[in-house]
């Protein structure tokens, strides 16, 4: 994308966004991989959120629970859409797990 200036939400204004974009892409890929590792065994959303918060040292309050939870749900939706993870409902809970056919 070409522009005279970029105004990121959580970074200083810049004329060259490439480094920040690459950092965000790398971090997103790492987080997707981390979720796949967590889902080697079936987990509920709450289990996944707790595992990620533990790994990244995130302390939740009600606002963070909603914000981080929404982000994690978006990652789960993406991974399910691409076939990397599966879900099923059991006893009123939604369980997520890594697909056996996912590529490493």
**27 belongs to a structural domain:** yes
Is residue 92 predicted with pLDDT exceeding 80?
A: yes
- The per-residue pLDDT for range 4-49, each reduced to its tens digit, is 999 998 899 999 999 999 999 999 999 999 999 999 999 999 999 9
**104 belongs to a structural domain:** no
Number of domains in the chain: 1
Look up the CATH number of the domain holding residue 55.
1.10.10.10
Confidence of residue 101 (pLDDT cuts 50, 70, 90): low
Which range of residues forms the domain containing residue 76? 18-98
Higher pLDDT, 83 or 102: 83
**1 belongs to a structural domain:** no
Nearest to 34 by CA among 48, 24, 22: 48
- The per-residue pLDDT for range 62-81, each reduced to its tens digit, is 999 999 999 999 999 999 99
What backbone torsions phi and psi does residue 16 show, to the nearest 5 degrees? -130, 110
Helix (H, G, I), strand (E, B) or coil at 52: helix
13 and 5 Cβ atoms separated by less than 8 Å: yes
What backbone torsions phi and psi does residue 90 show, to the nearest 5 degrees? -145, 125
**6 belongs to a structural domain:** no
Is residue 104 predicted with pLDDT exceeding 50?
A: no
Question: Measured over all CA atoms, what is the biggest interatomic distance in the chain, rounded to whole angstroms?
Answer: 54
Helix (H) or strand (E) holding 98: strand 93-98
Nearest to 49 by CA among 23, 75, 82: 75
Q: What is the mean pLDDT of the chain?
A: 93
User: Could you give the CA distance from residue 12 to residue 77 in angstroms, rounded to a whole number?
Assistant: 30
pLDDT of 1 reads 81
**25 belongs to a structural domain:** yes
42 and 35 Cβ atoms separated by less than 8 Å: no
């Amino acid at each position: 994308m070409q522009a005279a200036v970029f105004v990121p939400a959580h970074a200083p204004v810049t004329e060259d966004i490439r480094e920040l974009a690459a950092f965000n892409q790398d971090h997103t890929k790492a987080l997707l991989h981390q979720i796949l590792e967590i889902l080697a065994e079936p987990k509920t959303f709450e289990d996944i959120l707790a595992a990620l918060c533990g790994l990244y040292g995130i302390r939740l309050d009600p606002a963070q629970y909603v914000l981080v939870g929404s982000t994690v749900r978006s990652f789960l939706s993406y991974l399910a859409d691409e076939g990397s993870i599966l879900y099923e409902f059991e006893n009123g809970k939604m369980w997520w797990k890594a697909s056996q056919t996912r590529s490493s």
